[in-house]
Amino acid sequence: DPKIIQKPKYLVAVTGSEKILICEQYLGHNAMYWYRQSAKKPLEFMFSYSYQKLMDNQTASSRFQPQSSKKNHLDLQITALKPDDSATYFCASSHENTEVFFGKGTRLTVV
Amino acid sequence: QQKVQQSPESLSVPEGGMASFNCTSSDRNFQYFWWYRQHSGEGPKALMSIFSDGDKKEGRFTAHLNKASLHVSLHIRDSQPSDSALYFCAARKTGNTRKLIFGLGTTLQVQP
């Protein structure tokens, strides 16, 4: 029974379009994150939120915007999609600075 | 230059054998380390954390940290085919940051 739900599991998008990746966690954690995993690259930190406030932002591009409507939600909006954005995006959560739990990911392909 | 480097890139051990993974960081501000495992099609899952110098043992898994040399290792004894996966070292700096820095990973294949 997954405690971090990511939707959709797979996503194909056209270059220049906009997509929203959904994430909900039911672990009662106060911190949520987005990471990106691309081929031949390490798992890359993107954002961290704590109590719905942005803590760390490592994404240079403003095309990536996290959105937190509830404390257990952290969606990721990506605008003006490029082929280089193709990757698996993982949502994660933790209680304070303890172990980080990851979802199963959304695999995004931009054509 | 990658801040967390892992070796080897891939590893094959027989069932029941010992698998060993290495991780070196290039930044002395990294003080907290985790080992994660990722099976195909899944998200990474934490195996264990280590924050103090020395060994930490949890079942078949033993982690070792040497802060002076910025070296972390993970050893799996009695390896099972279900241990076949991608293993990551992850590090976090001191201070009020939640950011984990991951290595590129080591692919483990346990041969039945």
| Chain segment B62-84, per-residue pLDDT in tens | 999 999 999 999 999 999 999 99
Any idea which residue has 């966690």 for tokens?
A25
Give the separation between CA A34 and CA A55, rounded to whole angstroms: 12
CA distance to partner chain B, nearest, from residue A102 (Å):
6
B7 touches chain A (CB under 8 A): no
Decide if pLDDT at B36 tops 90.
Answer: yes
Q: What is the mean pLDDT of residues B16-39?
A: 95
Short-list A58, A54, A56, CA closest to A68: A54
For chain B, what percentages of helix, strand and coil (3-state, to nearest 5) are there? 5, 60, 40
**pLDDT value of residue A1:** 66
Give the span between the Cα atoms of A5 and A26, in whole angstroms. Answer: 8
pLDDT the model gives residue B38 = 96
pLDDT for the residue A16: 98
Give the pLDDT of residue B97. 83
Listed ranges A17-31, A41-55, A58-72; the one with the highest mean pLDDT: A17-31
Which residues of chain B neighbour A4 with C-beta distances below 8 Å?
A: 43
Cβ–Cβ gap A104/B97 under 8 Å: no
Whether B27 shows a pLDDT value over 70: the answer reads yes
Q: Which residues of A98-109 are buried (b: 16+ CB within 10 A; e: fewer)?
A: eebbbbbbbbbe
Q: A45 and B99: CB-CB below 8 Å?
A: yes
**Contact by Cβ (8 Å): A99, B50:** no
Pairwise CB contact (< 8 Å): B99 & A4: no
What confidence tens digit (pLDDT) does each residue in B96-111 have?
788 999 999 999 999 9
- Nearest-Cα distance to chain A for B45, in Å, is 7
Cα A32 from chain centroid?
9
Question: Do the Cβ atoms of B43 and A103 come within 8 Å?
Answer: yes
Q: How confident is the model at residue B2 (pLDDT cuts 50, 70, 90)?
A: low
CA-nearest residue to A41 within chain B is B104
Mean pLDDT of A33-58: 91
Q: What is the model's pLDDT at position B1?
A: 61
Structure token digits, residue A59: 């994404």
Mean pLDDT of chain A: 94
pLDDT at A70 over 80: yes
**B37 touching chain A per CB within 8 A:** no
Query: CA distances (Å), A34 to each of A31, A94, A104, in order?
Result: 11, 12, 12
Residue B47: CB atoms within 10 A of its CB come to 18
User: Phi/psi at A26 (nearest 5 deg)?
Assistant: -120, 40
The tens digit of pLDDT for each residue in B85-99 reads 999 999 999 887 889
Q: What is the CA radius of gyration of chain A?
A: 13
CB within 8 Å: B43 and A90 = yes
- Tell me if A102 and B2 make a contact (CB, 8 A cut-off): no
* pLDDT tens digits along B46-55: 999 999 999 9
Nearest chain A residue to B92, by CA? A97
How would you class A14 by CB atoms within 10 Å of its CB: exposed for 0-12, middle for 13-18, buried for 19 or more? exposed
The DSSP result for A46-93, as a single string, is: EEEEETTEEEEE----TTEEEE-SSTTB-EEEE-S--GGG-EEEEEEE
Tell me the mean pLDDT in the region B32-61: 96
A102–B44 C-beta distance less than 8 A:
yes
